[in-house]
């Protein structure tokens, strides 16, 4: 695990965007694993800026997002389908047909998850997987548990995640209670993993991810076993390390 210190959120975002940009320049048909949440927005906006300046070309890139709320249509403003279009895909020259997010609108969890596993496997798994980290150490929506998950599956969100995500909804009751998420094993298949973290609320999780025991009670801790994992975090997120 390589830990890169960033001064603040903007510095973290630029450093992460630089790494993603280098990946796409080196391999124009890269398979990127992407994440939602507040943390990656700055990196996406930086990449959009470089795209507009002609520095980066996404025409051959394909993307696979980590997760999606169960029960939301693709057009729901709270869905991760919508988030990705609004914050990234609508502003770059990616072929929309090459962008993938688990199908939260399919109520048949088993079918939605196994189909997603098939398409991620058929793509050969991401060259680079971007990850945020939850305050409780979750990656994707793989919540603390007594075992590490494997493929895409349906999860019940923990109270702490519902609480953390409620800031993006009008009322806490509106936060979906379930999600489809790539499993930890699938995440570990990525050839490179880039974790980004910002702010004091992430400090304990970043400490446990990098320096705690490898345990499913902090799902991100398994990244210590990945051979090519880079963490870019700002001063507040690194405060306990
Ligand atoms: P955040 O979420 O970027 O909104 O903090 C990260 C995560 O839960 O993985």
- pLDDT tens, residue by residue, 89-136: 999 999 999 999 999 999 999 999 999 999 999 999 999 999 999 999
Distance CA 31, CA 90 (A): 18
Q: What is the pLDDT of residue 30?
A: 98
CB distance 93 to 63 below 8 Å: no
- Consecutive H or E run containing 99: strand 99-100
Q: What is the pLDDT of residue 184?
A: 98
Q: What is the pLDDT of residue 207?
A: 98
Res. 206: pLDDT tops 90: yes
CB distance 64 to 120 below 8 Å: yes
Q: What is the pLDDT of residue 56?
A: 98
Distance in Å, CA 177 to ligand 1 centroid: 16
Distance in Å, CA 161 to ligand 1 centroid: 9
Res. 160: pLDDT tops 90: no
Give residue for tokens 């890169």: 4
Domains annotated for the chain, with CATH where assigned, are: 2-201+208-230 (3.40.50.1360)
pTM score over 0.95: yes
Distance CA 210, CA 202 (A): 12
Q: What is the pLDDT of residue 196?
A: 99
- Could you tell me the strand order of the sheet in which 62-65 lies? 2-6, 229-234, 192-197, 128-131, 31-34, 62-65, 99-100
240 SS3 class = coil
- Report the nearest-CA residue for atom 8 of ligand 1: 134
- Report the nearest-CA residue for atom 2 of ligand 1: 37
Distance in Å, CA 198 to ligand 1 centroid: 9
Phi, psi of 11 (to 5 degrees): -65, -45
Q: What is the pLDDT of residue 168?
A: 87
Structure tokens at 39: 């943390």
The set of protein residues with a Cβ atom below 6 angstroms from ligand 1 is 37-39, 132-134
Atom of ligand 1 nearest to the CA of 199: 5
Q: Which residues are catalytic?
A: 67, 136, 138, 143
Q: What is the pLDDT of residue 7?
A: 98
Structure tokens at 54: 């002609």
Give residue for tokens 């519902």: 162
């Amino acid at each position: 695990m390589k830990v890169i210190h960033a001064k603040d959120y903007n510095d973290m975002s630029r450093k992460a965007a630089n790494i993603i940009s280098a990946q796409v320049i080196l391999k124009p048909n890269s398979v990127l694993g992407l994440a939602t949440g507040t943390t990656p927005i700055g990196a996406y906006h930086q990449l959009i800026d470089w795209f507009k300046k002609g520095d980066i070309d996404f025409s051959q890139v394909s993307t696979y997002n980590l997760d999606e709320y169960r029960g939301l249509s693709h057009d729901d403003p709270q869905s991760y389908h919508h988030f990705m279009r609004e914050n990234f895909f609508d502003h770059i020259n990616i072929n929309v047909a090459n962008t993938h997010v688990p199908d939260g609108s399919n109520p048949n969890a088993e079918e939605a998850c196994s189909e997603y596993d098939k398409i991620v496997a058929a793509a050969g798994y991401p060259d680079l997987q971007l990850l945020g980290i939850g305050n409780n150490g979750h990656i994707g929506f793989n919540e603390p548990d007594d075992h590490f998950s494997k493929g895409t599956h349906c999860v019940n969100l923990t109270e702490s995640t519902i609480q953390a995500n409620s800031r993006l909804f009008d009322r806490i009751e509106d936060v979906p209670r379930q999600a489809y998420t790539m499993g930890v094993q699938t995440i570990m298949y990525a050839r490179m993993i880039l974790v980004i973290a910002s702010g004091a609320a992430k400090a304990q999780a970043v400490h446990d991810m990098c320096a705690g025991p490898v345990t499913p009670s902090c799902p991100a801790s398994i990244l210590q076993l990945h051979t090519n994992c880079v963490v870019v975090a700002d001063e507040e997120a690194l405060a306990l390390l």
